[in-house]
Each structure stands twice: as C-alpha cells, then as structure tokens.
Amino acid sequence: MKQVAYYKGCLASLSAKELDTSTQALAPKVGLELIDLESVTCCGAGDIHEAEPDYYLHLNARILAYAEATGSDTLMTICNVCTLNLRQADFMLKGDDALRERVNANLAAVGVPPYSGAVEVKHFLWLVADGEGFELLKASAHKGLKGIKIAPFYGCQILRPSKLLGFEDPDKPWSLERIIEACGGEVVDYPAKIKCCGFPIIQAREDTALGELIQPIEQAIEGGADAIVTPCPLCHLSLDAWQSKLNAQRKREGLERLKPMPIFHLAQLIGVAAGLEDSELKFKRHIVSMKPVLAKLEV
C-alpha cells in the first residue's frame, strides 16, 4: 500500500461530501492508504491567489508542511484547483531560497512545522491512470461499466499551465479515457473536454460562465454520452448544479430544455465499476439524477 497524505479541499468537505466518501472507500482498492492531515485550510483557489497572493502562498506552504509532517512523499489532491495551487506554491518556494526562508520563518512563528519541499503534489487521477495504481484499478473494476458511454471532462487546472502540472499533454490528454476504458466504459470524445466549465466566474459573470458551460454538456449529448466524468469537484458543481440554470436561460431564449446529463466524480465512476456501496458513493446528493445511467449499470 502506498501511503499518501490526503488533502480533500473545501468542497469535498462540505457540499461535495460524496467525493470524499467515494475517494476514501475506493482508495484501499487501488493501493492507497490515505493519511489525514493534522490541520489544513482552504487552498485559496484562484481567489486568494488573485486577492492576497502572499497569503495564498503561506496557506499552501502550511498545507505542504503538514503533508511533509506525515512522513509521506506524496500529497494527494482530489480537485483540479487545489492541485494547481499547491504545485505552484511548491515551485515558488523550491526555486527561491530567500522566499522560502521568509515563509518558513512565518510558519515557525505561528507554530507550523517547516516546509522543505519533500512532498510531491499529485492528483488522484495521476495516481490511478498509470503504473501500479492503474494495474490495481484494472483489477478492482470487476463489476465494470457495461459499455456505457462516458464523456471525459478534464477542465482547466489539471492540464494548464502545463509547465506546472505536466502529467500529460495539455492538448491531447489521455488519462480519463484510459480509465474509462479500463473500467469497461466507452469513451465519447469531443473538443470541449479541455475547455473551461466557467466555475470561477459563475457568480460574478453568470452569462459568460453559462456560455462556456453549455459547450461540454451539449457536445456530450451530441456524442451520445450517458454521463460525464470529471476529476474536479468545482467542475462537477457547475456541470451538475448549474444545468438547471442553463435550462432556465434556454427557456428565456425560447430553446428546448437540454437532455439531463448525469455527472460522475472520477472516484465515483471507478467506484461503481469496483462495486462500491451506494452509502459510499452517495449518488443521491447530485442535483441531476444519476438514475438513468445507474439503471444501465443495473445498480
């Protein structure tokens, strides 16, 4: 079993609890032992990075420091935004001695263990798309997806900027597709899978965000997908919870309602293929009903 420090982030702690429970239930099946972090906060998302960037750096340094303190060499994230934020902070600190010294001095002043760059931040997706994790995933997906059509949605911050993430080619990613197929599903490919769901501006600029959000949903529907899968709970929230807003907008414009598109968290998709319980997967928490696709899986 590979020990990893587990950083679940804000959404998985609260409104996207289903992601946390699925991940925790799935982890041992793919060879991951999740170590809880002693104490952490929100990573700040793009918001603290944009409002108080020095604070963003410190919050993330603190998370990295507590991850290091577990003794693990890997900090596992389950959200695109957390991944980018933590990796960026990590690179900022690694390459600048003076900056690292100042931040460590501040951490020490408030009682946080020091940051020394000993952990690498990896999204759960990366741990199971390749290597040992992938082998275990294949082995565990015994129930399979029975050929249902899944449209992968990467979102932005698991791919770009690629110099900070670098797991796969940002224009031709393959990890979600590989997992879908390994679990027995059929991939629905479409251009908007690497575009933005609009979540960062879904409140401040709703119309603009909806203009982005419509693209993956429409294209997935056109491709005949039974569901979309995404590795980011923020993308999940907009894809799932904001479908109703898309339909409200379409109603105003005199257009037809969209066919409802169920949205899987990555851990749920693998989980259902691995036979996890409904109490662990918690599909009932979704806004768009998962029933149609679950029916196809005879779950």
Q: Interface with another protein includes 253 (CB under 8 A)?
A: no
DSSP 75-93: EEESSHHHHHHHHHHHHHH
Contact positions with another protein (CB under 8 A) in 198-217: 198, 200-201, 203-205, 207-212
Contact positions with another protein (CB under 8 A) in 46-65: 46-59, 62
CB of 82 to another protein, least distance (A): 11
Q: Interface with another protein includes 40 (CB under 8 A)?
A: yes
Q: Interface with another protein includes 69 (CB under 8 A)?
A: no
Q: Interface with another protein includes 174 (CB under 8 A)?
A: yes
CB of 167 to another protein, least distance (A): 7
CB of 29 to another protein, least distance (A): 25
- Residue 37 token pair: 């972090």
The count of chain residues that interact with another protein, using the rule CB under 8 A, is: 88
Per CB under 8 A, the segment of 19-27, 162-170, 254-262, 265-273 that binds another protein is 162-170
Per CB under 8 A, the segment of 26-34, 140-148, 239-247, 269-277 that binds another protein is 239-247
Residue entry with tokens 């587990």: 6
Angle at 8 between CA 7 and CA 9, to 5 degrees: 100
Contact positions with another protein (CB under 8 A) in 2-21: 10-11, 13-17
Rounded alpha-carbon distances, angstroms, from residue 6 to 74, 79, 174, 217, 299: 9, 11, 24, 30, 29
CB of 261 to another protein, least distance (A): 16
Task: Quickly count: other Cβ atoms within 10 Å of residue 147's Cβ.
Answer: 12
CB of 276 to another protein, least distance (A): 19
Nearer to another protein among residue 39 and residue 256 (C-beta): 39
Q: How far apart are CA 63 and CA 40, in angstroms?
A: 6
Rounded alpha-carbon distances, angstroms, from residue 88 to 11, 45, 79, 110, 117: 20, 12, 14, 23, 12
CB of 255 to another protein, least distance (A): 16
Rounded alpha-carbon distances, angstroms, from residue 71 to 3, 99, 115, 117, 292: 9, 24, 12, 12, 44
